[in-house]
Amino acid sequence: MKFLKLLFPILSVLIIAACSEDDNKTADVSGLYNLTAVNAPRPVDYNRDGTASLNLMQESNCYLNSFIDLRSDGTFTYKYNYVFFLSDTGCYTEDITGIWQYKGNTITLTNPTAADESSATMQYTLQDNILSIIQESSYPGYDSDGFPIFIEGQVETVYGKVDTP
């Protein structure tokens, strides 16, 4: 019977310690991540400077100032700037807010206001303060007549954590 009396306090301490460890991991993961690369599956010379690059950020300023802010309260802000054109080339911004979860090496962003289920969640891999995702996406290029087009392919998007003082 003494064993049972000791078992409950020991289990309580272990459960509390486990929860505290998860909270610390979430606090370590939270922060600001700036976009560092948008890697296309094949080189593109979108800016027509004579040098093709896999990283679309080297081909257009449209991608600048994109970020993911993972707040310690479990919410996030996502701002993604990218090339968009209908008849003229231009830039477009996508702003999303929602909740995020961290499990293993995966960060899942959930957008509760997404129009369709396929865009409601995004799963990023986290390794060494780098968030990355590879997904089927459109990226800018030119057709054989020199007109801007979107090309479909597996695009890798990479964000690096910003050091805070």
**How does pLDDT run across 77-123, given as a tens digit for each residue?**
999 999 887 655 588 999 999 999 999 999 999 998 777 666 689 99
Cα→Cα distances 107→69, 114, 155, 163, Å: 12, 18, 18, 19
Q: In the prediction, which pLDDT does 51 show?
A: 95
To the question of pTM greater than 0.75 for the whole model, the response is yes
Q: Where are the alpha helices (DSSP H) in the chain?
A: 2-29
Looking at the predicted structure, is the pLDDT value of residue 21 above 50? Answer: no
54, 40 Cβ separation under 8 angstroms: yes
CATH 2.40.128 fits 31-161, yes or no: yes
Q: How far is CA 125 from the centre of its chain?
A: 8
What is the C-alpha separation between 11 and 163, in angstroms, rounded?
37
Domain ranges of the chain: 31-161
pLDDT tens-digit series, residues 124-156: 999 999 999 999 999 998 888 988 889 999 999
pLDDT (0 to 100) of residue 113: 79
Query: Are 112 and 99 a contacting pair, CB within 8 Å?
Result: yes
How far is the C-alpha of 74 from the C-alpha of 39, rounded, in Å? 28
Confidence of residue 60 (pLDDT cuts 50, 70, 90): very high
The pLDDT > 90 percentage for the chain reads: 59
